[in-house]
Amino acid sequence: MSRRYKKVVAGHGHHGGAWKVAYADFVTAMMALFMVLWLLASTDAQSRKEISQYFRTGILPEGDLAMNRAAQARPSVIEVSSVPPTPEEKTLDERVETAKQVGDKLAKMAALDPQLARVIKNVHVEITPEGILIETVDEDSGLLFDSASSRLNEPLERFLRMMAPVIVAAGRPVEINGHTDARPFAPGSRLSNWELSYQRADAARMIFEASGVPESQIRGVFARGASQLYVPDHPLDAQNRRLSILIRIAKPADAAPPPSEPPSAKP
């Protein structure tokens, strides 16, 4: 007797759960696309450029590269954009790279010399539109200066000597600014905060030049007195006593030579 087999065909009521996974992936992708489009539409061109710069370098413009800002370290993998950078972006890249090199040198110096580390913990490196600003700030212990004295104390002298090769390697013009707190001198004194700030800045210039910084690289020594307080709300605060070293990296518009005059017509 032959056996008869019956073929059972599944109905249309059950297709498994695979479609749910695919649908969830589709919805997630659409949400991501919506978020990207919304971000592009809600930010201006400057913000998009700064965000792009952050993902390329790991450092935001105008950022503070002080020693305790480890979150701004350069990432190990940097995506290189296929779009050629504009002159402004090239200048910003150079400022960011120079600031990072200065920060790396400061970290190495602090690790090797405990006395220098005391100075460096009060050194702040900032990216500005003019270039790289290195601010060496005093504290109440008189680590950098004695009160009302133009003599630079030994820890500050050592720091400036160690900084000289960094300045030379940058290869950019340097400006040295002296600052004081707002404490006035006694009436009739021959010295004022203007003279004191200049004398301190000029003492730093002489240390730089003695340590190998070319005279031609130093473009100016400036007395700021108490006109640019580091702690404006506390004019007598010790942190207002400081040296500022500006490594100038000019913007393209500032660096461009003036347009030449058209040749005069000849008769």
**pLDDT over 90 percentage in the chain:** 33
**Between residues 93 and 213, which one has the greater pLDDT?**
213
Whether 63 shows a pLDDT value over 50: the answer reads no
Give SS3 for 109: helix
How confident is the model over 214-259, as pLDDT tens digits? Answer: 999 999 999 999 999 999 999 999 889 999 999 998 765 544 444 4
Buried b / exposed e along 80-110 (16+ C-beta atoms within 10 A): eeeeeeeeebebbeebbebbbebbebbeebb
**Between residues 213 and 80, which one has the greater pLDDT?**
213
Bridge partners, 218 (sequence order): 174
Give SS3 for 16: coil
* Residues whose CB falls within 8 Å of the CB of residue 159, separated by 6 or more in sequence, listed in order: 109, 116, 119, 120, 123, 136
Give residue 168's pLDDT band: very low, low, confident or very high (50, 70, 90).
very high
**Between residues 49 and 167, which one has the greater pLDDT?**
167
**Between residues 51 and 209, which one has the greater pLDDT?**
209
Q: Which helix (H) or strand (E) holds 21?
A: helix 18-42
What is the pLDDT averaged over residues 134-151? 83
Which residue from 45, 107, 47 is spatially nearest to 73, judged by alpha carbons? 107
For residue 178, CA distances in Å to 34, 106, 136, 247 come to: 53, 21, 10, 15
pLDDT score, position 4: 58
pLDDT score, position 62: 47
pTM here? 0.61
Give residue 262's pLDDT band: very low, low, confident or very high (50, 70, 90).
very low
pLDDT score, position 53: 59
How confident is the model over 72-124, as pLDDT tens digits? Answer: 333 333 334 444 556 666 677 788 888 888 888 889 988 988 888 989 998 99
**pLDDT over 70 percentage in the chain:** 69
**Between residues 19 and 256, which one has the greater pLDDT?**
19
How confident is the model over 147-159, as pLDDT tens digits? Answer: 788 889 999 999 9
The CA-based angle 159-65-236, given to 5 degrees, is 65
pLDDT score, position 14: 53
What is the pLDDT averaged over residues 37-50? 69
pLDDT score, position 255: 46
**Between residues 67 and 55, which one has the greater pLDDT?**
55
For residue 44, CA distances in Å to 37, 48, 51, 52 come to: 13, 6, 11, 12
Average per-residue pLDDT for the chain: 77
